[in-house]
Structure 1
Amino acid sequence: MKSYSMLALLFLGTTSLLHAQASSPPSYVTDAVSDSARPAAEKQLDSDRKPAALVAFAGIKPGDKVADVMPGGGYFTRIFSKVVGAKGHVYAVVPESYASKAPPERLKSIRALVADPVYSGNTSLEVRPFERLDVGAPLDVVWTSQNYHDVYGAVNAAFSVSGSTGPEQAAKLDAAVFKALKPGGVYIVVDHAAAPGSDGRDAHTLHRIDPATVIAQAKAAGFVLEARSALLSNPQDTHEKPIFAPEIKGHTDKFVLKFRKPVR
């Protein structure tokens, strides 16, 4: 019990430090978030999604090469593009399985983003299999937000890898991320939290996953868990409802994990 208490105190101290660091993001991050080119509808989400603090936590900086895996409509892609600047690059990575099976309108927003002159100079759309994230250059950061549970839970055919079950798909994703990152590179996973000890049980039904499951899989791929943040936590979420339930939608308890590829 004593060792557990010491571990809990260490975790709380680390979390407090992370919050202190994230409270004052660099100007290149705040400038990217406040950029006038961002759609008003996306800016309205900022108070809940806390992009400036998250990007600062990830350590994304000018000149970085960043992969935004399963970018949705490009909420974070736009911000990353402005942060990394002309000397960096953002790869919006859409799984080949998703691109081939999802309705075309699902990719309309991200295709429009990479074609927009505001972003096209340093942003590209990459359609490739889960297990191959090579983009032609070692990456500084790989980011995936609210997607890991979809891969692990094999939520629908669009997230499938031929011959793999859900947990195996997620393991292949982690292995591909590890290979694509440069030594010392960072892997960020943000997702909806499931009840502690639930493993991946709720990934398919509630669209949630236990962070301990993500940590175990990432470590198996070779990553080291460097930090975790409570920036998006919500203690009022009981983890019992699907993330789309009206009373919790947009305000689920989310975890933020920062893994690092060892230098050696």
Structure 2
Amino acid sequence: VVEIWPSGGWYAEIIAPYLNESGQYISAGYDPNDETPYFRARAAEFMERLNKDPDLYSNVQHNILKPPDRMEIAEPNSADLVLTFRNVHNWMANDHAEAIFEGFFKALKPGGILGVVEHRGDAAVPQDAGAKSGYVNQEYAIALAKKAGFVFEAASEINANPKDTKKHRDGVWTLPPTYSSVNDEEKQSYSEIGESDRFTLKFRKPE
């Protein structure tokens, strides 16, 4: 199982131990020596999490995904499952989304599964190609995956939040847990909205 850009390892803490005895968790993460301080810090946070319990994370492999130069997330046709959580908008911002989805397709075995979770944009609003608000229209994400060769299999509302109007001055980052530019008086109302509305999509690489 490959997790894309696991950041500090929130999902890795769940997935990697599950795979420890009968599988392998591969992180396609940030470069620990990246020139961007944020990426270096998140990579260090991820490794610190692993090092706290080396037995539990003994079967973890760390690869670097740094577009556009380092794009191989795993050996070709080797992965059963690729997962990405709230990353598509970052790749769109730098015009790397198409190439990264192609990388997912290349890494998966025939019949392998791609799971995508992302902040869901308003379908009535045309998609901003750079996803400046952090929101991505569901149909846009489906089109990205299909263009790379995937078959769309299913969508789940498990991460939906109908309270999210998606009309926030600092985009998705106005909402918790970031609360970008939110003052103390506003914080309660944004807290009541909760975190962003998200789509959860399943794709398959044809056999």
TM-score range, shorter chain: 0.7 to 0.9
Aligned residue pairs, count: 184
- Mark the CA change 1:254 to 1:193 in structure 2 (over 3 Å): closer, same or farther: same
Over residues 108-149 of structure 1, what are the superposed CA-to-partner deviations in whole Å (9 max), with x where a residue is unaligned?
A: 211113333143311122114443222477001111101111
- Mark the CA change 1:137 to 1:79 in structure 2 (over 3 Å): closer, same or farther: farther
- Aligned partners of 2:194, 2:27: CA distance in 1, in Å? 23
Moved over 2 A (4+): 113-116, 128-131, 134-137, 197-200, 202-205
1:62-211 equivalent positions in 2, closer than 5 A: 66-96=1-31, 100-103=34-37, 104-115=40-51, 116-130=53-67, 131-135=71-75, 138-154=78-94, 166=95, 169-201=96-128, 203-211=130-138
2:17–2:57: 8 Å Cα contact kept in structure 1? no
Moved more, 246-255 or 191-200: 246-255
Which amino acid counterpart does residue 102 of structure 1 have in structure 2? T
Q: Secondary structure at the match of 1:184?
A: strand
Taking structure 1 as the reference length, the TM-score comes to 0.64
Which amino acid counterpart does residue 243 of structure 1 have in structure 2? V
CA RMSD of aligned residues (A): 2.2
Q: Secondary structure at the match of 1:132?
A: coil
Q: Mind listing any 5+ residue stretches in structure 2 that lack a counterpart? A: 180-189
Matched, 1:262 2:191: no
1:24-63 equivalent positions in 2, closer than 5 A: none
Q: Secondary structure at the match of 2:25?
A: strand
- Aligned partners of 1:207, 1:99: CA distance in 2, in Å? 26
Which amino acid counterpart does residue 8 of structure 2 have in structure 1? G
- Paired position in structure 1 for 2:185: none
- Mark the CA change 1:261 to 1:99 in structure 2 (over 3 Å): closer, same or farther: farther
Tell me how far 1:194 sits from its aligned partner.
1.0
Over residues 215-253 of structure 1, what are the superposed CA-to-partner deviations in whole Å (9 max), with x where a residue is unaligned?
A: 001001110111100011111111112112141685111
Tell me how far 1:188 sits from its aligned partner.
0.8
- Paired position in structure 2 for 1:61: none
Over residues 64-87 of structure 1, what are the superposed CA-to-partner deviations in whole Å (9 max), with x where a residue is unaligned?
A: xx1110101111112111222322
Tell me how far 1:197 sits from its aligned partner.
4.4
Larger fraction in helix? 1
2:76–2:106: 8 Å Cα contact kept in structure 1? no
Q: Secondary structure at the match of 2:196?
A: coil
Taking structure 2 as the reference length, the TM-score comes to 0.80
Q: Secondary structure at the match of 2:121?
A: coil
Q: Mind listing any 5+ residue stretches in structure 1 that lack a counterpart? A: 1-65, 155-165
Tell me how far 1:202 sits from its aligned partner.
7.3
- Mark the CA change 1:74 to 1:135 in structure 2 (over 3 Å): closer, same or farther: farther
